[in-house]
Amino acid sequence: MTITAGMVKELREATAAGILDCRKALEETGGDFDKAVDYLREKGLAQAAKRMDREAQEGMIHAYIHAGGRIGVLVEINCETDFVARTEEFQGFVNDVALQIAAMGPLVIERKDIPTQVLDHERALYRSQALEEGKPESVVDRIVDGRMEKFYKQTCLLEQDFIRDEDQTIDQLLKAQISKTGENIVIRRFTRYQLGESLGE
């Protein structure tokens, strides 16, 4: 199939990828627009994964107040250069992450941040629940694994569905941002405050 300049232009407008990348994507997929979009997305995510080993010490600390002053978030997100940190797109990404934390209340950034004793406690709880429900011992481990996956999705920021677009996770949103900027970006740490949450503890 002949790849026309119009096809390349349409794909470029849809994906913001370079002209040569768009042409190659169309050639690789036989001119199929949707497959070419997927090709470019996969390529971008692969490149993003390579960048994730690079040092990121610039960026910003952002404060976000939600729900009429009842929830507050402080989040630090790093990138490689001050130039990227000052861009509107990076700052929008930081604000989106802060909004996600405020709305969904994750406890950690990723799985490795969860203390072992917490994981052990959750596993024991789910095992006990499954046995009380009368599940056979032969399937209990699978049930526990399934419930642990749900626990990770609720608890870990990177595994949560993005509240503005539930078709992608925060991890996918992060990798897309890395791909767009050409820099490593790291969600370093966050704190979430909720009015009155510690009262009575």
d(CA 159, CA 126): 20
Structural Rg of the chain based on CA atoms: 21
Same fold, 5-51 and 58-109+156-194: no
Sheet strands (E) in 37-90: 58-66, 71-79
Q: Which of 115, 118, 104, 96 is nearest to 187 (CA)?
A: 96
Could you tell me the residue ranges of all domains in the chain?
Answer: 5-51, 58-109+156-194, 115-155
Q: Which amino acid, residue 112?
A: K
Distance of CA 105 to the CA centre of its chain: 14
Q: Which amino acid, residue 170?
A: I
Q: Which amino acid, residue 57?
A: Q
Residue 186: band (very low, low, confident or very high) from pLDDT cuts 50, 70, 90:
very high
pLDDT value of position 190: 97
d(CA 20, CA 12): 10
- Identify the residue whose tokens are 């900027």: 181
Distance of CA 86 to the CA centre of its chain: 21
Mention every residue, 6+ apart, whose C-beta is less than 8 A from residue 153.
Answer: 159, 160, 161
pLDDT value of position 53: 65
**SS3 call for 116:** helix
Q: What is the pTM of this model?
A: 0.70
* pLDDT tens for each residue of 44-87: 655 555 556 667 789 999 999 987 889 999 999 999 999 999 99
Give the architecture (CATH level 2) of 5-51.
Answer: Orthogonal Bundle (1.10)
Residue 200: band (very low, low, confident or very high) from pLDDT cuts 50, 70, 90:
very low
Choice between 88 and 135, residue whose per-residue pLDDT is larger: 88
What CATH number should be reported for the domain whose range is 58-109+156-194? Answer: 3.30.479.20
Q: Which of 60, 44, 57, 146 is nearest to 95 (CA)?
A: 60
* pLDDT tens for each residue of 91-149: 999 999 999 999 999 999 999 999 999 999 999 999 999 988 888 888 888 999 999 99
Pick the CATH number of 115-155 from 3.40.50, 1.10.20, 1.10.286, 1.10.1060: 1.10.286
For helices 88-104 and 170-181, the axis angle rounded to 10 degrees is: 170
Residue 58: φ, ψ to 5°: -90, -165
